[in-house]
Amino acid sequence: MIKNVITMAIIGILVISCLVIMPAQANETTLGRQSRLASGIITLTYPVPSVPIISNEVTIIPLAVSYSLVGTFAGLIERSLTRRGVQVPIQLSIENEPDYCQATIFPQIVFCNISGSSITIAELRVVLDQAAPAYSLSNITIKAESSGIRGRLGLLTLVHCAQAEFEVAITIGSPAMD
C-alpha cells in the first residue's frame, strides 16, 4: 500500500516537472497561443457556391466548424474532456466584407465537441447591393475565436484560447433585373 502511494507520488512529481521544464513554443500563431499541454485548432470549411451570387437576393452558404487539439497531452486531454461532455463555444464574426456586401453569420456562437471529426453547422448569409461589380470575385473574412479550457478546479489552463481567420470566396453574378 505504501509502495503504491510512493510510486504515484513519484509519477506525479515527474509529470509536474515535465510541465514546468518543458519549453513552450516560441512564437504565436493564428491557431492560438501555444500551450505546454494542448492547443486548440478551429477549422472552417464551406462548399463553393455552384452559381454566382445575384444582387438583392439572400444567398446562404453553410459553414462547417470543427475544433480539435494538438500538443503534448492533446490525446489525454481530449479523452478526459470528451468523457465529461465538455463543448467549446466558438464565436464567429465578420471581420471584413466588401462595401457592397452585407454578410451575417447565424448563429454567432456555435458549440463544438473536442474532436476534429465532429462538425457544427453555421450559416453565412450574403446580400449584395446594386453597386456590386458584376462577374467578379470577392472575399469575406470570418474570425473564429474560442475561450480557454480550464481543469476541474479551475487552477490549470488545459487548452489556451484559439483564434483563426478564414477567407470565404464569393463569385458575383449579373446585376438583378428590376
**What pLDDT does 16 receive?**
47
Q: State the fold for domain 27-172.
A: Immunoglobulin-like (2.60.40)
> Which residues have C-beta within 8 Å of that of residue 122, sequence separation ≥ 6?
62, 63, 65, 92, 105, 106, 107, 110
Nearest to 99 by CA among 60, 139, 59, 61: 139
pLDDT digits over 30-52, tens only?
A: 333 444 578 888 989 888 776 78
Banded model confidence at residue 177, pLDDT cuts 50, 70, 90: low
**What pLDDT does 64 receive?**
93
The answer to whether the CB of 18 falls within 8 A of the CB of 36 is no
- Give the H/E segment covering residue 14: helix 2-21
- Taking residues 8-33, report their average pLDDT: 42
- Taking residues 17-35, report their average pLDDT: 37
The residues spanned by each domain of the chain are 27-172
Angle at 28 between CA 26 and CA 123, to 5 degrees: 155
Banded model confidence at residue 19, pLDDT cuts 50, 70, 90: very low
Banded model confidence at residue 11, pLDDT cuts 50, 70, 90: low
Pairing state of beta strands 87-96 and 59-70? unpaired
The CB density around residue 140, as the number of other CB atoms within 10 Å, is: 20
DSSP 87-109: EEEEEEEEEE--TTEEEEEESSE
Does position 120 have pLDDT exceeding 60, yes or no?
Answer: yes
**What pLDDT does 153 receive?**
77
- Tally of CA atoms within 13 A in the half-sphere of 105 that contains its CB: 24
pLDDT digits over 37-95, tens only?
A: 788 889 898 887 767 888 888 999 999 999 999 888 888 888 888 888 888 999 999 99
Q: How many Å separate Cα 159 from the centre of its chain?
A: 13
